[in-house]
Amino acid sequence: MTKIRTLVVDDEPLARERVLSLLQQENDVEIVGECADGAQAVSAIQERAPDLVFLDVQMPGCDGFEVIRNIGADRMPPVIFVTAYDEYALQAFEVHALDYLLKPFGKDRFQQTLRHAREALERRRAGDLGRRLLALVHDIKPEPQRVERLVVKSGGRVFFLRTDEIDWIEAAGNYVRLHLGTGSHLFRETMNRMEARLDTRRFARIHRSRIVNTERIKELQPWFNGDYVVILRDGTRLTLSRGYREKLQQRLGKGF
């Protein structure tokens, strides 16, 4: 049996021990080292050439992203990110990383992640993961980015929501409420930052506390003082404020 040579990197001793103890129960895994910070991880990866790395994201000094940059995306082994909840990072991980573990995690979730790792090691022989890691390094930037997927934590569960499934968004204090069909989710974000992260070809601000998916608009009806009523395909009625009318006209490519 070919062993999966595995390195564990986490600055929290208890979290590191948790991963190590679970790995020790797997017959096809060989632990080649453990590291408490990013600098140690870079050295260990270069010296021991592991097949798989469990990599903490948030570490002082050299974080998980810096480890990848220092090694080089084309030389970095497959990575499983280990992280506390971070909605922005998770969005990138879900698209580009092999997998991630959200602290605290159970044994079932850990074993599911290992299954992904075993499959990915086969794909790596074809060069697939090298390209995905390179995309990860390029995509992580300090400023907000247009996203196609949101990660929402609710009731102890994590939901992955495609932005093109969102019908409309409304302000809700320190949150925004995402409306999708008959359901909705609270998401911790301001309206301005939410607007900046969405694809401007699809979403438009129609009120200081409303954003709408323009593909869901069925009808516009004149209202008072230059306002309009925006009627969505499901019958939802929203107000288009006069101050946002011109921008919506530009977005739709027509006047009204």
**CATH number of the structural domain spanning residue 181:** 2.40.50.1020
Residues 10 and 128 in one domain: yes
- Non-local (6+) Cβ contacts of 8 within 8 A are 16, 19, 20, 23, 31, 33, 34, 35, 53, 54
What pLDDT score does 137 carry? 65
Residues 133 and 60 in one domain: yes
Residue 98 lies in a domain: yes
Distance CA 216, CA 236 (A): 10
Question: If pLDDT is split at 50, 70 and 90, which confidence band does 95 have?
Answer: very low
CATH number of the domain to which 57 belongs: 3.40.50.2300
Nearest to 89 by CA among 46, 153, 4, 8: 153
> What is the residue-averaged pLDDT of the chain?
85
Query: Among 67-71, 218-222, 243-247, whose mean pLDDT is lowest?
Result: 243-247
Residues 195 and 223 in one domain: yes
Residue with the bigger pLDDT between 157 and 9: it is 9
Of all residues in the chain, the percent with pLDDT exceeding 70 is 84
What Rg value do the Cα atoms of the chain yield, rounded? 22
**Mean pLDDT to the nearest integer, 168-182:** 93
Q: Are strands 237-240 and 228-232 parallel, antiparallel or unpaired?
A: antiparallel
Residues 125 and 248 in one domain: no
Residue 144 lies in a domain: no
Residue 127 lies in a domain: yes
Residues 58 and 171 in one domain: no
Q: Which two tokens stand for residue 94?
A: 């879900």
What pLDDT score does 88 carry? 44
Residues 119 and 153 in one domain: no
Residues 186 and 245 in one domain: yes
Q: Which residues pair with 35 in a beta bridge?
A: 9
pLDDT tens, 15-63?
Answer: 999 999 999 999 999 999 999 999 999 999 999 999 999 999 888 888 8
Residue 126 lies in a domain: yes
Residues 208 and 181 in one domain: yes
Start-to-end CA span in the chain (Å): 69
Query: What counts of helices (H) and strands (E) characterise the chain?
Result: 8, 15
SS3 18: helix
What pLDDT score does 142 carry? 47
Residue 126 has pLDDT above 60, yes or no: no
Of all residues in the chain, the percent with pLDDT exceeding 90 is 45
DSSP for 99-134 reads EEEESS--HHHHHHHHHHHHHHHHHHTTTHHHHHHH
Residues 115 and 170 in one domain: no
Question: If pLDDT is split at 50, 70 and 90, which confidence band does 100 have?
Answer: confident
| Full strand arrangement of the beta sheet holding 217-222 | 217-222, 228-232, 237-240
Residue 254 has pLDDT above 70, yes or no: no
CB 145: neighbour CB atoms within 10 A?
Answer: 13
Question: If pLDDT is split at 50, 70 and 90, which confidence band does 130 have?
Answer: low
Count of structural domains, the chain: 2
Look at residues 89, 107, 139 and tell me which one is the last residue of a structural domain. Answer: 139
Residue with the bigger pLDDT between 144 and 80: it is 80
Look at residues 105, 139, 173 and tell me which one is the last residue of a structural domain. Answer: 139
**Structure pTM?**
0.50
Look at residues 99, 118, 139 and tell me which one is the last residue of a structural domain. Answer: 139
What pLDDT score does 147 carry? 79
Residues 107 and 178 in one domain: no
The range of the structural domain enclosing residue 208 comes to 149-252
What pLDDT score does 203 carry? 92
Residues 98 and 197 in one domain: no
**Mean pLDDT to the nearest integer, 182-189:** 90
What pLDDT score does 253 carry? 66
- Non-local (6+) Cβ contacts of 95 within 8 A are 135, 139, 148, 149
